[in-house]
Structure 1
């Protein structure tokens, strides 16, 4: 019986709390390979440098600057900086006319850094699991038994490694639909050692990926939710073999076509105003094998996306059961991956769609807003070191009175990529302006030598040609519905250093990290703790192509000199590392989930006001179990519930099904990724 061979030869952590195993299974160790972006376009570190002139430091000299305390961002950014105005754009404090958001007082106690195998919440709060891997979703699903798994069973059960989570209302206000992504699988923790052969594992793995739609119900009048065990007619599993309709201009290209099968590597997402869910296909490159040669005409494209071009066996080797995943046999199959998927949770019989107008990338997610004239804007991050930030603006307008009229809005419009510029002012600020550069509309390419389909299929190659700004792993990008600002999470980039080293005025040149909780901080080259950018689009209109940007948070340990928290007192904030996804509560406060904490503690969810006297006061709201990643977050419409998807608990290099390093949620002797909710005991709003 053929079994998986050990993939990992090292033990420990690869990136902060991320194990070598997580890096292999989640993204095919993309950080260990050369960055696919070799365009030479300006990167964000250079923009930061230009945004902060060293005129004053040069006057006093290096020694005098250090003595005066002006060599770091922490001392150079005044707390009142957000009150200034540049180019007619209001800055920082969120005080737009007609808005009072972002001032909602966050009164929860800060959860301390820890390494517990539990969801740790503040005093006065409770937490509970809603649904876990293997729980029934569709009618006919058997009771989960890890020793009796099959592809047919898994296709009706909740999938593995839940990520993006959205909750949508039903007419009954005590019931809702929960929609989530299942990003990837860990066969070491899913299967008893020696129980299933490689082919069986592959078939189950195909079924464990994709998405789930599950009806949930409120417990009493509290903020607690649980799985509705009646298995609603809305319940649905979408897997790596589900049929998809491909729409938009690239569907007419022979490389893609009008039909695709399956979705996998799904990370974050978004929800449209008409109630469909968008899901981003991210690290698709790690799912394909090469058993021989690949066509020469595709090599440049493959390499730009990190797709193998020589004989390679992927971690899961799905090609043993499905030839689609052998690029020697089906070289165009990879062009059907890397899209934004749209699913209608309210119609379980509908065919999900891959929207090619939203570009082919390693999508973190896709979040939407309505422009001033009623069109739809979608923000898109390409999650890899050195990649770009994108935006799509629809040609048609949103129709709130006719839901079906909106279903084609994401197929026609204009796709843009972002360029950032430092303002060069001697104002001690990391800020500047930016431009959304058009790449293509649905009918016209703006990139010389590339057709519309070329731009959408090889978006990275197209963007390289128009000189946008290379970023540090663009993750979730979302518009605050209260103050109108756009917040972008940039997780990290440890490739900083060497030829890319920054001067001492730049806070992202080095980061302080810990090997484990309690160890002293150690300085290492690179932006290892990440940061949050705050964008204000011209006229507060997502349709406009100009924007102003400022560096809102520089994450890390507050005692480290490079950190910055919106001008707030650094002695009164929680340590935060590797921001991944963002959300907002009803007051416009920012909620941040983390992935790969570099400070020795578990990942978690953090809150931070974006306006008022507490702007920048980061507080940890919860921590997730040992070895896991905090996905989400999501705050319910009534602000009474915080949802968190706990991904890959106990995913350490030495963990096996029989000898796990986490057993969360403690229903079995092995870990089960799950979605949980957190609520206040007194029934009031979470956070405040």
Structure 2
């Protein structure tokens, strides 16, 4: 019988899942301890929306036209510049031991553990690619935790790396371009002697510079999967909380986004809380602004309450140093965050864009596929308990080629099209969905659904499909639009990824401890467990397998937790042959069609990790753990190539009571060194492809 590890960090019951209180505090502003923003019945929006909309928009509403549309090798400290994964005890450095599994998943699973290390399978090695603070721009100094400055950080790799992309560098042999999100800062682990009640201007400006995005060239070692950052490359770039962005789409230029600093409503400074993202077929990267609400203080509006924006001071106190973070003083600034950001990493002089046509909410992801005639479709989730997931279908076709004309055209693709929200229904009697996770009599949680149109943007303007809301209001108050059309309340929809081999779409639903509690929505077939602390993965099949379809079928591919728990499900695969998994977050695919799942907040007592699972064939549902991350860390940004796996090790050492003076982790550089988020590459010691 499998024994689960004891819960670590916070005493049991004080925080949902396996997250520490410190992570909840800095990452999402203690969202789980605040009132759930979605209080709608999904029959009507009522007083919340009525109070938010202007008389002008209510008069326009009459003109709205609705249209459809087991054993493992571990590394105690993996971070010395040339560190490599040590072999498992008593094993050699050669080829991995033979392991059965789907092609791409033939490795010996890593056992659940609480080691302060990145632990990888037997026969695999690892190395840190780049850490927080490493210089990437010309003139940036080497990292010194005791001599940090905003100027230095603006030229160094940012903090808390999340989404990762690797893009080709034409004409540069064995080099690729790494793009990384920097989701948030944890000042307690960044600054010695940090006083959370009285941050200094210097500390705040360093934090501004540590947010955002990094673009850095990396050099591949031919004989392995090791990658090394190339400092001062011509394409290296830092985007921060004070960089200039361009607002595009239906809301751009509207009264809702104009501020005292930007009367045009088209120029925004900075991007915040970039979580997961995606790459586009035209060579750009997308980045989702997630928990942006926690950066804004002193709101008294119902529309802001729906987004979880507080009435008092923020944790970081940025509003003391820039009035744009004070809603009472600059009410529209908060309307300029919560979008999908698009970056052209091949043009270091380009201005990144915020696409209002994709809606405003806590975007966890933004992944792209093309329709049969070459139009973009973007899937994105709203990472909040009882919120929704969305699809945008573009109306313009992608142009091929790398000319300036083609690239400029493609950068406008996400400004015209229709934004939809998902509404799901089950095919089993409600009495069979009792909140325990017991499968209904047909043996599967499944059903159908439809994409409900919210707004359509065209070259000549935009039209709302939501009664009582203008197009601009739908794009800025998208959650309220979803409420009004009756979208399905989900258990924290996070990353969403279409399979490149089958076209099926996979939605990671991380958890929802409030499901079924008094005053909240009860279980339904798509979210079948009350107090859902382990999460699940939904598999969606668009009608006729067309990306632009408005109807779909769905089933729960995976219901996470301890396989010995009868409430878990692994696509029908024997549960005595899978790894335990909890809180699925970011997802990715390999070239074999396997889904890779990283976790956030493991509620089974082990550290978070990365898992691979077969999605088809006779091994469909076979799930195997590939790695675990250090104490207090989360596994982010998984990227699986033929010869390497990349993960972003986010917030290592983020354990309650930890600080610079009293660290909870010594990763990645060992005892006596400050703990640093970092990107890690993993490869086979024999140089062969991953998992074959």
**For this structure pair, what is the TM-score category when the shorter chain's length is used for normalisation?**
0.7 to 0.9
Q: Which residue, 673, 677, 681 being the options, matches 1:677?
A: 681
Question: Deviations for 1:71-92, whole angstroms, at most 9, x for unmatched residues?
Answer: xxxxxxxxxxxxxxxxxxxxxx
- Check whether the contact 1:508–1:526 (CA below 8 A) recurs between aligned residues: no
Q: Distance in 2 between matches of 1:674 and 1:210?
A: 15
- Check whether the contact 2:199–2:316 (CA below 8 A) recurs between aligned residues: no
- Check whether the contact 1:11–1:654 (CA below 8 A) recurs between aligned residues: no
> Residues 188, 372 of structure 1: CA spacing in aligned structure 2 closer, same or farther, 3 A cutoff?
same
Aligned to 1:457: 476
Shift of 1:403: 3.1
Secondary structure at the aligned position of 2:357 is classed as helix
Q: Distance in 1 between matches of 2:467 and 2:522?
A: 33
Aligned to 2:223: 221
Q: Distance in 1 between matches of 2:571 and 2:11?
A: 37
Secondary structure at the aligned position of 1:145 is classed as coil
Aligned to 1:542: 547
- Check whether the contact 2:187–2:194 (CA below 8 A) recurs between aligned residues: no
Equivalences for 1:583-598 in 2 at 5 Å?
583-598=588-603
Aligned to 1:419: 423
Q: Distance in 1 between matches of 2:31 and 2:178?
A: 31
Secondary structure at the aligned position of 2:32 is classed as helix
> Residues 562, 502 of structure 1: CA spacing in aligned structure 2 closer, same or farther, 3 A cutoff?
farther
Shift of 1:398: 1.2
Aligned to 2:534: 529
- Check whether the contact 2:297–2:309 (CA below 8 A) recurs between aligned residues: no
Q: Distance in 2 between matches of 1:569 and 1:607?
A: 16
1:264 aligns with 2:269: no
Equivalences for 1:51-450 in 2 at 5 Å?
104-171=103-170, 172-193=172-193, 197-229=199-231, 231-256=232-257, 257-290=265-298, 294=300, 299-308=301-310, 310=311, 312-401=312-401, 402-424=406-428, 427-442=442-457, 443-450=462-469
Shift of 1:339: 0.7
Question: Deviations for 1:504-538, whole angstroms, at most 9, x for unmatched residues?
Answer: x979665xxxxxxxxxxxxxx51100000001101
- Check whether the contact 1:103–1:611 (CA below 8 A) recurs between aligned residues: no
- Check whether the contact 1:103–1:610 (CA below 8 A) recurs between aligned residues: no
Q: Distance in 2 between matches of 1:509 and 1:534?
A: 15
Question: Deviations for 1:40-64, whole angstroms, at most 9, x for unmatched residues?
Answer: 139xxxxxxxxxxxxxxxxxxxxxx
- Check whether the contact 2:10–2:20 (CA below 8 A) recurs between aligned residues: no
Shift of 1:266: 0.7
Q: Which residue, 599, 604, 607 being the options, matches 1:602?
A: 607
Q: Distance in 2 between matches of 1:194 and 1:28?
A: 18
Equivalenced residues, count = 595
Aligned to 1:497: 516
Q: Distance in 2 between matches of 1:407 and 1:40?
A: 38
Q: Distance in 2 between matches of 1:686 and 1:110?
A: 13
Q: Distance in 2 between matches of 1:237 and 1:103?
A: 39
Shift of 1:327: 1.2
- Check whether the contact 1:507–1:562 (CA below 8 A) recurs between aligned residues: no
Q: Distance in 2 between matches of 1:498 and 1:463?
A: 22
Q: Distance in 1 between matches of 2:250 and 2:447?
A: 34
Aligned to 2:69: none
Aligned to 2:504: 485
Secondary structure at the aligned position of 1:464 is classed as helix
> Residues 173, 533 of structure 1: CA spacing in aligned structure 2 closer, same or farther, 3 A cutoff?
farther
Shift of 1:429: 2.1
1:619 aligns with 2:624: yes
- Check whether the contact 2:560–2:583 (CA below 8 A) recurs between aligned residues: yes
- Check whether the contact 1:264–1:281 (CA below 8 A) recurs between aligned residues: yes
Question: Deviations for 1:358-381, whole angstroms, at most 9, x for unmatched residues?
Answer: 100100010000012211000010
Shift of 1:254: 1.9
Secondary structure at the aligned position of 2:472 is classed as helix
> Residues 11, 24 of structure 1: CA spacing in aligned structure 2 closer, same or farther, 3 A cutoff?
farther
Aligned to 2:34: 33
* Runs of 4+ residues deviating >4 angstroms: 9-13, 194-197, 500-503, 505-510
Shift of 1:654: 1.0
Unaligned runs of 5+ in 2: 1-8, 44-100, 258-264, 430-440
- Check whether the contact 1:11–1:653 (CA below 8 A) recurs between aligned residues: no
Q: Distance in 1 between matches of 2:11 and 2:27?
A: 17
- Check whether the contact 2:381–2:495 (CA below 8 A) recurs between aligned residues: yes
Question: Deviations for 1:544-584, whole angstroms, at most 9, x for unmatched residues?
Answer: 11110011000000111100111011001100000001100
Secondary structure at the aligned position of 1:396 is classed as coil
Secondary structure at the aligned position of 1:544 is classed as coil
> Residues 254, 507 of structure 1: CA spacing in aligned structure 2 closer, same or farther, 3 A cutoff?
closer
Shift of 1:313: 1.3
> Residues 679, 603 of structure 1: CA spacing in aligned structure 2 closer, same or farther, 3 A cutoff?
same
Q: CA RMSD in A?
A: 1.9
Q: Distance in 2 between matches of 1:526 and 1:563?
A: 14
Shift of 1:223: 1.6
Q: Name which of structure 1's ranges 584-593 and 105-114 shifts more when overlaid on structure 2.
A: 105-114
Q: Distance in 2 between matches of 1:23 and 1:381?
A: 19
Question: Deviations for 1:247-277, whole angstroms, at most 9, x for unmatched residues?
Answer: 1110021222111000011100011111111
Q: Name which of structure 1's ranges 416-425 and 449-458 shifts more when overlaid on structure 2.
A: 416-425
Question: Deviations for 1:569-617, whole angstroms, at most 9, x for unmatched residues?
Answer: 1001100000001100001100000000000010000000001111101
Q: Distance in 2 between matches of 1:427 and 1:624?
A: 38
Aligned to 2:660: 657
Shift of 1:227: 0.9
Shift of 1:103: 5.6
Secondary structure at the aligned position of 1:22 is classed as helix
Aligned to 2:487: 468
- Check whether the contact 1:281–1:362 (CA below 8 A) recurs between aligned residues: yes
Aligned to 2:436: none
Equivalences for 1:570-581 in 2 at 5 Å?
570-581=575-586
- Check whether the contact 2:494–2:508 (CA below 8 A) recurs between aligned residues: yes
Aligned to 1:17: 18
Unaligned runs of 5+ in 1: 1-8, 43-101, 511-524
> Residues 502, 449 of structure 1: CA spacing in aligned structure 2 closer, same or farther, 3 A cutoff?
closer
Q: Normalising by structure 1, what TM-score?
A: 0.84
Q: Name which of structure 1's ranges 110-119 and 31-40 shifts more when overlaid on structure 2.
A: 31-40
